[in-house]
Structure 1
Amino acid sequence: MNGHSNPAIDGLAKCDFHRHRLPCSVARCNNIVYARQLCVRHGGKPKCAHDDCDANARPGGFCYRHTEVRSKRLCSQPLCTNAAHAKGLCVRHGGGRRCRVDGCKTLARKGGCCVRHREGVACADAFEMTLDWIDAIEPLDDAILDCLIKTCAADTSSSSPTTIDVEWYAL
């Protein structure tokens, strides 16, 4: 194939890199096929859609000379030069999305959540797991407190100055 000096494989006219690539179907052309059994030079790539232009097209149908320069849409508020996001508005004028966590007024960054809640659902699940953990150890806390109350009640007969006020527990 054209373009480099890699040695040809025995029995083939191609190097190891080009061994599975077909040559262009145009007579005496040794370029590799791009599409439709043609190399780029012979029409394997589509041509620019602009009138009287034979350059190869880029994505979008036009060559680099005729591609439309897409400028960013600007915020629709008067005198604002920021880029528009949603509803034709910039973030400052209400074009951004709010974080999906209840009560959070911060703008969403990733996955519908703000930076603070960026873990999204995983963060909410972790919070629920924390509450589950607290609920799970509550009986243990009650058992420890009951044990302390019984111990203090048994110690009241001694002259020990150590006492525990358990009035708050009744609340």
Structure 2
Amino acid sequence: RCSVEGCKKQVQTRRLCKAHGGGVRCRGPDCQKLAQSRGFCVAHGGGRRCAVDACPKLAQYSGVCLSHGGGRRCCVPECTKFVQIRGYCKLH
């Protein structure tokens, strides 16, 4: 657990959770965001990109962005919205 008194979040680095300064920070100039991959935040080129050529968007569940069919749909029959949490969209 995080070493900050009263915090029950999971430790990332330096015995701290992400909220209290734990986790790997972006290597971008003057950036304090958390790194996603390759040492950079999404704004500085970190994160997985869509597999479709020339698409700059972030990849979702299946390696492509939402526009190209990535992501999972809500598990409620006939709902076409994307999953937000535990298999359901925000509406459900």
Taking structure 1 as the reference length, the TM-score comes to: 0.28
Q: Which has the higher contact order (CA 8 A, sep 6+)?
A: 2
Taking structure 2 as the reference length, the TM-score comes to: 0.50
Would you tell me which structure has more helix in proportion to its own residues? 1
Query: Which of the pair has more CA radius of gyration?
Result: 1
